[in-house]
A and B are shown apart, each in its own frame.
Chain A
């Protein structure tokens, strides 16, 4: 049943996102073309406009992805469509798992499309050199390669979005247990859950700071962040976000399995 649910959830999500993916890649290609044409004032302006549109499309994909996932979650599990969803011979765990997997897959694909758009629009030897200059010290600190560091940054970024998304799901689940003003409470609880995860992350960084003076300097001095700090913070971010993803998943599942109250 999970496969079938996933099929319909993914179809519904990608149907909308596909338009933004196409637009993003299209403007990425246009940016590349106009930047590569011999420089003239007009071409330069067109290239910059295309570049701006590409960047806004990238943000659009992220925001759209999140909003669509929340919207589908609400409509499918608490809106009119829930009258069908909850009467399917599928247990609550599978229903919730399908939503989470859909979120993970769509976020993953979105990040790939974003990376691809950036690559198409801005790939050049000079830009690669700039990235290398920025990331090389970090890569050295990790005893790693720039590519691996790029993947680590994308992974943190992915975890952060997954965390925001799941906090929203928690908000919707708790908000819809109330009798009135369900949407308002959903937003409020979602925000509160997200803030709690952020405070816990900060607390963990502070605790690490008790054993690492570089990290503690982050809280009590105006020193510029150094490579050692970034290294530890990335590690902590990955650990905390991964733990919080699992914790929120199990809390949400428990709340969801207790039953729903559809209007």
Chain B
């Protein structure tokens, strides 16, 4: 059984169709790049999978079941914005995650945060935006989830932070889990991907194994993407 399946998925805002007839399957144990230019529907697709948007038509199945409590137990989602209650302290947020997610490893989270030199009694509102994003990444990667969905984790960060983010992702996801990383910074993540999905104008243009694609096109994924979506 596929971990995630989108069947004839469409999303419109009024007359504007943002996603058109998306058919997609995500297998277990793969790192998948959801690649596309800005505003092509990557975040909309991710928000639909996470129950933050309601599909106009079509279905999303996680382990064969529709989105609901069970799917949320096994999906760990990192949105592109900061979503934590800023009046909370870091240790209160850790307690919050511990309370709601059975698969949250608080010791792992604390260790990763201490490695970042963060004081656990610090209020989130006192942290820089960059630090808040790192905190969110740590919280998300400290869950023993079956599917990690990371929306633009590399957006707007310096190269050193990018390395930290990629390293945190690679060293902390659960064995056998799948990771979906949405980005337009392909060259930075190409080396860690098993599969890619190209999305453009709300449609899936390509889903392929990375090695197969590289061999077929005789070039890097970044180059294939640039050629395919040349303005």
Give me the interface of A with B, judged by CB distance under 8 Å.
1, 4, 8, 12, 15, 80-84, 86-91, 179, 258-262
Whether the pair B79, A83 counts as a contact (CB closer than 8 A) is yes
Known contacts A179-B13, A262-B52; decide if A87 and B87 are in contact (CB<8 Å). Answer: no
Chain B residues whose C-beta falls within 8 Å of the C-beta of A81 in the assembled complex = 83-85
Does B99 count as interface, using CB distance less than 8 angstroms?
yes
- Chain A residue at smallest Cβ distance from B77: A87
Q: Is the interface of B mostly helix, strand, loop or mixed?
A: loop
The reply to whether B14 and A87 form a contact with Cβ atoms under 8 Å apart is no
The docked-state distance in angstroms from the alpha carbon of A179 to that of B81 is 20
Q: Which residues of B contact A89 (CB under 8 A)?
A: 69-70, 72-73, 100-101
A262 to B47, CA, bound (A): 8
Please count the residue pairs between chain A and chain B whose beta carbons lie under 8 angstroms apart in the complex.
62
B75 interfacial contact with A, CB 8 Å: yes
- The chain B residue sitting closest to A88, CB to CB, is B100
Q: Mark B94-108 against chain A: 1 for CB-CB distance below 8 A, else 0.
A: 001001110000000
Is A86 a contact of B100 with CB atoms below 8 Å? Answer: no
B interface residue numbers (CB < 8 A to A): 13-14, 47, 50-54, 68-70, 72-73, 75, 77, 79, 81-85, 87, 96, 99-101
Distance of A138 Cα from B72 Cα, bound (Å): 55
Residues of A within 8 A of B54 (CB): 258-261
- Residue of B73, B75, B83, B99 near A84 (CB, 8 A) is B83
A80 close to B82 (CB less than 8 A): yes
Which B residues touch A4, using CB under 8 A?
99-100
Output the least CB separation between A154 and chain B (Å).
32
Across-interface contacts of A258 in B (CB, < 8 A): 54
- Which residues of B sit under 8 angstroms from A88, Cβ to Cβ? 72, 100-101
Chain B: minimal CB distance from A263 (Å): 9
Q: Given the complex of chains A and B, what is the CA–CA distance between A8 and B52 in angstroms? A: 21
- From B52, B69, B96, B99, A83 is in contact (CB under 8 Å) with B52
7 A-B pairs besides A82-B83, A261-B54 with CB distance below 8 A are: A12-B87, A84-B83, A86-B52, A87-B50, A87-B51, A88-B100, A261-B53
